[in-house]
């Protein structure tokens, strides 16, 4: 059978990895797919460099639309990234009857509903395993492997840059800014790391996992997003003393009144496997009613790990290319006419427990005032840790200390109000640090 022909838009880190792995393992892949898969055309602005990477047998152009217009191309791989030209090219490829493989989580998290609807109308597939957690096959697990389950929650370390930074902060006792500079020097963080450190990248991925887990439309605009920039070495140290690790988690949960979709730092019990995922690695925990807890771990980025996911999508499409579109696996796991209208809850309605760190004047009665405010707010305390007063007095001339409080579950709106009252106390000297706590039991 004639090999399926693939056009590649963008041959950067992931694109070159995809080309190399596909070429290296072509016989193994052919045995699995049932026919050959060949990248026969590449679009890249740097034509000379691209041609050098792929050799003389592949056509290289500087116009992505030339790839889409080629009638011999069956599948288009979009590896350009971003929301702009990538969206136009994906929609044009779909309109031309091409299947699409993409690693573009930002595009799908924001415009996925429109893109999937266009693909369904045209009878083509949009595959995106590489968009979440790199080489970890979490999309396939959620969409197919766990299809018998009513998914209850998903929680993941899905950004390697932030996990590397938090691991270094814990290991070396350094503050965020120092470790960020080191992460940039080593190539773990971009020159502009905003999407990573502010949690946006993780929120894109959590949005896609939430849609697949619960059969709801992709709704990135309703995700709560908080990064790691305000974490200090002290918080990492205190969490450790209390038996917890701090990780940036993407969390989505099915609750009685809707779905939670949130990204923020979390205290996780140190005994949980996911709490021990270090460096730039990724991990996702899924809780299903039938299977219980499952954990997926591996490299969340990189040339060949991500290429592994891209090629898995190519194989899936090759196997199903001739199948009736109605009999293919739906883009978001659930049949398009059976999608749910479950509401994504605002963060103020989310129920969780908390770690609070208060920098206070070391005076009689301060702890009583703080715990009194929590009691009046109906917030139950789980544990209190009060440090010895600093030897050096603060600017006020009064010795200072840290008070650490762990609470039981309460609704976020109630905690927001309590923190505002505590912050107003004259004895509370700095902004209160609040980190949510997840047992993941």
Separation in Å, CA 364 to CA 360, 368, 439: 11, 9, 33
Q: How far is CA 400 from the centre of its chain?
A: 38
- To 5 degrees, how large is the angle CA 153–CA 291–CA 207? 25
222 is catalytic: no
Do 236 and 169 meet the contact criterion of CB atoms below 8 Å apart?
A: yes
Whole-number Å distance between alpha carbons of 252 and 62: 40
Q: What is the rounded CA–CA span in Å between residue 174 and residue 182?
A: 11
How far apart are alpha carbons 143 and 82 in whole angstroms?
Answer: 24
How far is residue 336's CA from residue 317's CA, in Å, rounded to a whole number?
19
Tell me how crowded residue 211 is: count the other CB atoms within 10 A of its CB. 29
Annotated active-site residue in 98, 205, 299, 437 = 205
Burial 119-139 (b: 16+ CB within 10 A, else e): bbebebbbbbbbbbbbbbbbb
CA triple 261-203-404, angle to 5 deg: 75
Burial of 385: CB neighbours in 10 Å, binned 0-12, 13-18, 19+: middle
Query: Using an 8 Å Cβ cutoff, are 225 and 206 in contact?
Result: no
For residue 408, which of 370, 368, 355 has the smallest C-alpha distance? 355
By annotation, the residues acting in catalysis are 205
């Amino acid at each position: 059978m004639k090999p399926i022909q693939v056009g590649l838009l963008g041959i950067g880190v992931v694109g070159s990895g995809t080309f190399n792995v596909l070429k290296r393992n072509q016989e193994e892949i052919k045995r699995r797919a049932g026919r050959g898969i060949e990248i026969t055309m590449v679009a890249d602005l740097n034509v000379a460099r691209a041609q050098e990477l792929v050799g003389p047998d592949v056509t290289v152009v500087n116009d992505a639309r030339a790839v889409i217009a080629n009638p011999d191309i069956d599948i288009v791989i979009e590896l350009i990234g971003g929301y702009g030209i990538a969206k136009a090219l994906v929609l044009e490829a779909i309109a031309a009857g091409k299947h699409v493989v993409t690693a573009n989580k930002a595009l799908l998290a924001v415009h996925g509903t429109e893109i999937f609807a266009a693909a369904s109308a045209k009878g083509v597939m949009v595959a995106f395993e590489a968009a979440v957690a790199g080489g970890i096959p979490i999309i396939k697990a959620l969409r197919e492997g766990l299809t018998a389950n009513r998914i209850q929650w998903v929680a993941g370390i899905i950004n390697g840059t932030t996990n590397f930074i938090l691991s270094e902060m814990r290991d070396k006792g350094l503050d965020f800014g120092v470790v960020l500079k080191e992460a940039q020097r080593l190539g773990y963080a971009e020159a502009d790391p905003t999407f990573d450190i502010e949690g946006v990248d993780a929120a894109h991925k959590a949005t896609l996992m939430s849609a697949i887990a619960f059969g709801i439309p992709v709704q990135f605009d309703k995700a709560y997003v908080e990064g790691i920039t305000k974490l200090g070495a002290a918080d990492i140290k205190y969490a450790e003393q209390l038996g917890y690790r701090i990780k940036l988690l993407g969390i989505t949960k099915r609750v009685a009144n809707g779905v939670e979709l949130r990204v923020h730092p979390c205290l996780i019990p140190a005994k949980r496997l996911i709490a021990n995922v270090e460096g730039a690695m990724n991990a996702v925990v899924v809780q299903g009613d039938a299977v219980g807890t499952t954990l997926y771990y591996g490299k969340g980025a990189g040339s060949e790990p991500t290429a592994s996911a891209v090629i898995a999508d190519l194989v899936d499409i090759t196997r199903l290319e001739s199948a009736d579109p109605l009999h293919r696996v739906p883009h978001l796991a659930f049949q398009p006419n059976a999608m749910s209208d479950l509401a994504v809850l605002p963060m103020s309605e989310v129920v969780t427990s908390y770690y609070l760190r208060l920098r206070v004047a070391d005076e009689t009665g301060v702890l009583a005032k703080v715990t009194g405010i929590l009691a009046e707010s109906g917030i139950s305390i789980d544990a209190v840790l009060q440090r010895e007063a600093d030897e050096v007095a603060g600017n006020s001339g009064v010795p200072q200390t840290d008070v650490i409080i762990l609470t039981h579950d309460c609704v976020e709106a109630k905690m927001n109000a309590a923190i505002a009252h505590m912050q107003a106390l004259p004895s509370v000297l700095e902004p209160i640090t609040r980190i949510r706590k997840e047992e993941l039991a």
